[in-house]
């Protein structure tokens, strides 16, 4: 069996971090299994779906490196849905209902007021031909519901949650088609999963009850069931479901200067028993992905953890991986010298400006002027052969008697304008002798 997974976003908005995690996990399972990962744009809501959102979804997946093997749009598949809908009508698995939304809401409130679950009472099934004709004469158009089989409990073994059991009598017959003929999510998704040969449906635990009703749709269409896996939802760093998670997406991550692999490293294992580690290559994440590692506890998404992972990954990146994103003239030696002090690759430009100048160094303390004058005089006679920083500080220590912070800090400030930064041995070599002498002279 070829494993086939799918990511099926609706192009009615931008992807958020929860969507990205679902896409990643489907992609990881397909790649680990040597299978296929499908992108299906669930755009049956023609009024809210937008081409620009579809383009943004593709761009986000591409930035993350989640290449898909095939793409489909539900708006191209209406003829198939119509065909299967007619078959379900013929077999008695769907039926028309004429209640208005206001009538349904009133019934719901009455049931809740009695302490009962707000389950649809199937009143539409007992309508007489005369009542139906009267509704039609009023201009009412029916919406359509899928008729659940109440005789057998709905049971499946979830790859994450274990055995799941639902009593269909406690579920409302789901509306699958609106009165205007437009489709709701439930039935087209099943029809497409069957037609596309999807073998594994991996999504959030908020879809568990949907799965219960969709399992009966698979049966009504005489199709084999895919395997289902429902993962715990993400929570914010404050420990509860966060609205902020809905606004965090690729645009936010890119604005922060994050590496795609930082996002993947965190989301691939978030909510699992496997340690979250920084990876510069996706292969270990593919190899270690396993549904058995995931539990039912909510997974806490922490932006601080993401930033920390990103910093560690930046420190792992070779020059060849970042050369195209570095300032003109910044070569491998400069990258190796500056990289340990970076949180993002973009920050390399700030340090490169310090190397190339010009910049304003802070005014030295009065007691440091003679010290910097001596540094200028000594550096003039020191060859730049890779050991110039050690030679300069050793000579100053011997002549001026300084050590520690009193020795190093005035030099760093005069040469870089900063109190902290990359190792000065590498920085002095990058700055070069002439520029270093000019900077010391201006502060002596």
pLDDT at 69 over 80: yes
Q: Check whether residue 66 and residue 192 sit in a common domain.
A: yes
* pLDDT value of position 236: 85
| Per-residue H/E/C for 373-418 | HHHHHHHCCCCCCCCHHHHHHHHHHHHHCCCCHHHHHHHHHHHHCC
Annotated binding site for ATP: 243
Q: Looking at residue 372, which CATH number applies to its domain? A: 1.10.10.350
Residue 300 lies in a domain: no
* pLDDT value of position 9: 96
Q: Check whether residue 425 and residue 436 sit in a common domain.
A: yes
pLDDT at 330 over 90: yes
Residue 215 lies in a domain: yes
Q: Check whether residue 55 and residue 193 sit in a common domain.
A: yes
Strand partners, 321: none
Strand partners, 40: 72
Residue 252 lies in a domain: no
Annotated binding site: 243
**What share of the chain has pLDDT > 70, as a percent?**
98
Residue 20 lies in a domain: yes
- Give the mean model confidence (pLDDT) for residues 112-132: 94
Residue 299 lies in a domain: no
Residue 302 lies in a domain: no
Q: Looking at residue 217, which CATH number applies to its domain? A: 3.40.50.620
- Give the mean model confidence (pLDDT) for residues 383-410: 95
Determine how many CB atoms are found less than 10 A away from the CB of residue 346. 14
Q: Check whether residue 162 and residue 87 sit in a common domain.
A: yes
Please give the residue range of the domain that contains residue 328: 319-355
* pLDDT value of position 357: 87
pLDDT at 121 over 60: yes
DSSP 184-227: -SHHHHHHHHHHTT--EEEEEGGGHHHHHHHHHHHHHTT-PPPE
Task: Report the number of distinct structural domains present in the chain.
Answer: 4
Who's near 58: CB < 8 A, 6+ residues apart? 39
Q: Check whether residue 346 and residue 387 sit in a common domain.
A: no
Q: Check whether residue 23 and residue 169 sit in a common domain.
A: no
Instruction: Report CA Rg, the chain.
Output: 32
Buried b (16+ CB within 10 A) or exposed e, 374-393: bbbebbeebebeeebbebbb
Residue 275 lies in a domain: no
Q: Check whether residue 49 and residue 197 sit in a common domain.
A: yes
Q: Residue 378 to residues 306, 389, 410: CA-CA distances in angstroms?
A: 45, 11, 15
Is the distance from CB of 154 to CB of 215 less than 8 angstroms?
yes
Q: Give dist(CA 168, CA 118) in Å, integer.
A: 13
Residue 286 lies in a domain: no
What pTM was estimated for this model as a whole? 0.91
C-alpha torsion sign, points 255, 258, 263, 264 = positive
pLDDT at 239 over 60: no
242 falls in which pLDDT band (50, 70, 90)?
A: low
Q: Check whether residue 54 and residue 122 sit in a common domain.
A: no
* pLDDT value of position 1: 86
Q: Check whether residue 140 and residue 192 sit in a common domain.
A: no
pLDDT at 363 over 70: yes
- Three-state DSSP class for residue 73: strand
The string of pLDDT tens digits covering residues 244-303 is 787 789 999 999 999 999 999 999 999 999 999 999 999 999 999 999 999 999 889 999
């Amino acid at each position: 069996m070829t494993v086939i997974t799918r990511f099926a976003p609706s192009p009615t908005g931008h992807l958020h971090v929860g969507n990205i995690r679902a896409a990643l996990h489907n992609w990881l399972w397909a790649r680990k299994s040597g299978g296929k990962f499908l992108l299906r744009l669930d755009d049956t809501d023609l009024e809210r779906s937008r081409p620009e959102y579809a383009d943004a979804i593709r761009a986000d997946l591409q930035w993350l490196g989640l290449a898909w093997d095939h793409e489909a749009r539900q708006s191209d598949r209406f003829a198939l849905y119509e065909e299967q809908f007619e078959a379900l009508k013929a077999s008695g698995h769907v039926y028309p209902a004429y209640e208005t939304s206001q009538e349904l809401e009133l019934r719901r409130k009455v049931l809740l007021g009695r302490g009962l679950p707000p389950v649809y009472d199937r009143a539409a099934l007992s309508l007489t031909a005369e009542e139906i004709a009267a509704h039609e004469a009023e201009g009412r158009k029916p919406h359509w519901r899928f008729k659940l089989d109440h005789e057998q409990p709905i049971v499946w073994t979830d790859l994450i949650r274990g055995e799941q059991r639902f009593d269909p009598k406690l579920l409302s017959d789901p509306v699958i088609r609106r009165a205007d003929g437009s489709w709701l999510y439930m039935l087209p998704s099943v029809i497409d999963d069957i037609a596309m040969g999807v073998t594994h449906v991996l999504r959030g635990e908020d879809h568990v009850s949907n799965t219960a009703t969709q399992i009966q749709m698979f049966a009504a269409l005489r199709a084999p069931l895919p395997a289902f896996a429902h993962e715990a939802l993400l929570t914010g760093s404050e420990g509860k479901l966060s609205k902020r998670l809905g606004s965090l997406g690729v645009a936010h991550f890119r604005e922060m200067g994050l590496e795609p692999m930082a996002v993947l490293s965190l989301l691939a294992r978030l909510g699992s028993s496997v340690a979250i580690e920084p990876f510069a290559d996706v292969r270990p994440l593919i190899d270690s992905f396993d549904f058995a590692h995931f539990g039912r506890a909510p997974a806490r998404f922490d932006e601080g953890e993401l930033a920390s992972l990103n910093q560690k990954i930046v420190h792992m990146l070779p020059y060849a991986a970042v050369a195209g994103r570095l300032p003109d003239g910044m070569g491998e030696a400069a990258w190796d010298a500056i990289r340990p002090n970076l949180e993002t690759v973009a920050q390399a430009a700030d340090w490169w400006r310090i190397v190339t100048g010009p910049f304003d160094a802070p005014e030295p303390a009065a007691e440091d002027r003679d010290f910097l004058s001596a540094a200028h005089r000594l550096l003039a006679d020191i060859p730049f052969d890779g050991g110039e920083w050690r030679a300069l500080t050793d000579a100053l220590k011997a002549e001026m008697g300084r050590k520690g912070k009193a020795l190093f800090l005035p030099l760093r400030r005069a040469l870089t304008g900063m109190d902290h930064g990359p190792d000065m041995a590498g920085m002095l070599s990058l700055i070069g002798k002439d520029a270093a002498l000019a900077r010391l002279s201006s502060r002596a």
